């Protein structure tokens, strides 16, 4: 519990004298060990999806799988790619681990090779050209986000742990190499953009 001590003198122009004696405060009682779980918790695959459970009994940081003895490959190297990102907006843009890169803010531009991103950086630093013209030229150099199955950023997400994110600022454009990984599962990403066409929901 915080200790509140009222000021006996005004803080200005002379600060109060420091307290020369220790302040007595109650010592908090450490929590007990809590109730002991006599029986092991049910496996997640055996839980009723319509019921509520206290998941504090389960260890943190694992992956729930239906068949624990089978092998599960996460973020396969065969599905990885490298892109460069340039933020041509006026503020930072942060994207999460599982958002489809082709659906993110239009001010984030993606480049798939060093030559293109190098040329974009030179265009952006050309102070003799008006800023809107520089942005338009950089957009023309960026990789087309439209549906190109098998090539980033279409069908890819950041290769970071679930729940993590990356922030891209205009000051750090272009970025260093960013590793991305193909979205797996059913590979359907609906509803992230209002202008998304129905034919673009399926990533393949």
CB 82 within 8 A of CB 113: no
Checking if the pLDDT of 33 tops 60, the result is no
Average pLDDT over the chain, rounded to whole? 76
**pTM to 2 decimal places:** 0.64
- Give alpha helix (H) positions in 32-160: 114-124, 131-141
Checking if the pLDDT of 21 tops 60, the result is no
CB 170 within 8 A of CB 88: yes
At 95 the pLDDT is 92
Checking if the pLDDT of 71 tops 90, the result is no
At 15 the pLDDT is 55
At 162 the pLDDT is 81
Calpha distance 147→98 (Å, rounded): 18
Checking if the pLDDT of 43 tops 90, the result is no
Checking if the pLDDT of 77 tops 80, the result is no
Checking if the pLDDT of 36 tops 80, the result is no
At 51 the pLDDT is 73
Q: Is 97 exposed, middle or buried (0-12, 13-18, 19+ CB in 10 A)?
A: middle
């Amino acid at each position: 519990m915080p200790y509140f001590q009222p000021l006996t003198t005004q803080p200005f122009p002379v600060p109060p004298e420091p307290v020369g004696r220790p302040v007595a405060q109650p010592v908090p009682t450490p929590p007990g060990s809590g109730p002991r779980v006599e029986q092991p918790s049910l496996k997640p695959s055996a839980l009723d999806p319509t019921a509520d459970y206290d998941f504090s009994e389960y260890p943190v940081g694992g992956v729930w799988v239906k068949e624990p003895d089978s092998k599960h490959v996460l973020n396969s190297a065969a599905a990885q790619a490298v892109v460069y990102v340039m933020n041509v907006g006026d503020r930072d843009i942060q994207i999460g681990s599982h958002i489809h890169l082709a659906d993110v803010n239009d001010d984030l531009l993606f480049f798939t090779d060093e030559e293109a991103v190098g040329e974009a950086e030179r265009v952006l630093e050309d102070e003799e050209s008006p800023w809107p013209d520089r942005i338009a030229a950089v957009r023309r150099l960026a990789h087309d986000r439209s549906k190109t199955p098998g090539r980033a950023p279409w069908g890819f997400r950041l290769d970071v742990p679930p729940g993590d994110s990356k922030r891209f600022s205009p000051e750090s454009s272009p970025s260093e190499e960013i590793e991305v990984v193909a979205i797996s599962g059913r590979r359907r990403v609906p509803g992230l953009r209002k202008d998304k066409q129905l034919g673009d929901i399926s990533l393949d």
